[in-house]
Structure 1
Amino acid sequence: MTHPRTPHSVSKRVVALHTKLKPGKEAEYEAVHAVIPPELDAALREAGVHTWRIWRNGLDLFHVLEVDDYAAMRAALRDHSANVPWQARMAELLAVEDDYSGDDTGIGLVWELPVKE
C-alpha cells in the first residue's frame, strides 16, 4: 500500500509489524522507548523512515511505520552502529530476536478505507 506524501514527492509505504514481549518485560520495554537515542533517531530517518508508532496489548506489540523502502531500510540498519546496540537491547525484551536475516515484509493488508477525493 503506497500513499503519496505530496503530489510532487516520491511515494512511501505503510508497513505493519507484530512482535511479542517476553513475559514481565512490558514496563521495561515502555521505559526504554520513552526516549530513543538521538543517533538511532537519525539512523532511522536516514534510512527513509518517516514515522514509526508502536501499540502494546499485553505482550503483543503492533508497529506501524511509514518508510520509503522497507527492504532498503532494513539493509541500511542491519549493521548500523546506532542500531546494533539497540537490537541487542531489544533482544533482551522481545520473545523472538530480529537478526535481520529473513525476508520480513510485515503483516499483510486485509482492508483499507479508501481515501475519498
Structure 2
Amino acid sequence: MQTVALHTRLRPGKEAEYDRIHAEIPSDLDAALRDAGVHAWRIWRSGRDLFHLVECEDFARMRAHLQTHPANVPWQARMAELLEISDDYSGAKPQVHLVWALPPRT
C-alpha cells in the first residue's frame, strides 16, 4: 500500500465550482478508481490550493489504468478547465512517510 500526497491549484474564481462538482463523484469514476487499486482519496482545499492524500496499491499502476479509462478521460478534461496547476509531482514518487502521530489515549 502506498500513501501519496499531491498538490494542485485552482484557477482564480473556480473554488465554488470545484466544490460543487466534487459533492458527488460519478459512480463510473468511483468504480474505476477502486478497480485501479485506490482505497481512499481525500482532498482538502485552502483557498485555491488543493491537497490530496491518496491511499492505493500502486500509484504508477493506478495512473496507467486511469489514463485512458472512459470514466476518467472526461473527468480530467473537466478538471483541466478548473485547475491552474494540475499536478506538481512531475513523475516523481510523491510518497508520504509517517514521521509522527499523536498516539491514541489508553
**Normalising to structure 1: TM-score of the pair?**
0.78
Count of residues in correspondence between the two structures: 102
1:113 aligns with 2:101: yes
Q: Is the 8 A contact 1:51 1:67 kept in 2?
A: yes
Mapping of 1:1-117 within 5 angstroms?
12-97=1-86, 102-106=90-94, 109=97, 111-113=99-101
Where in structure 2 are there 5+ consecutive unaligned residues? none
- Secondary structure, in 3 states, of the residue corresponding to 2:85? coil
Q: Aligned equivalents of 2:84 and 2:57: distance in 1?
A: 28
**Normalising to structure 2: TM-score of the pair?**
0.86
Where in structure 1 are there 5+ consecutive unaligned residues? 1-11
RMSD across aligned positions (CA): 2.1
Q: Percent identity?
A: 58
Q: Aligned equivalents of 1:20 and 1:107: distance in 2?
A: 19
Q: What are the superposed Cα offsets for residues 68-108 of structure 1, whole Å, 9 maximum, x if unpaired? A: 0000000000000000000000000000346xxx5142265
CA distance change for structure 1 residues 104 and 44 in 2, over 3 Å: closer, same or farther?
A: farther
Larger relative CO (CA 8 A, sep 6+): 1 or 2? 2
Stretches of 4+ moved more than 6 A in 1? none
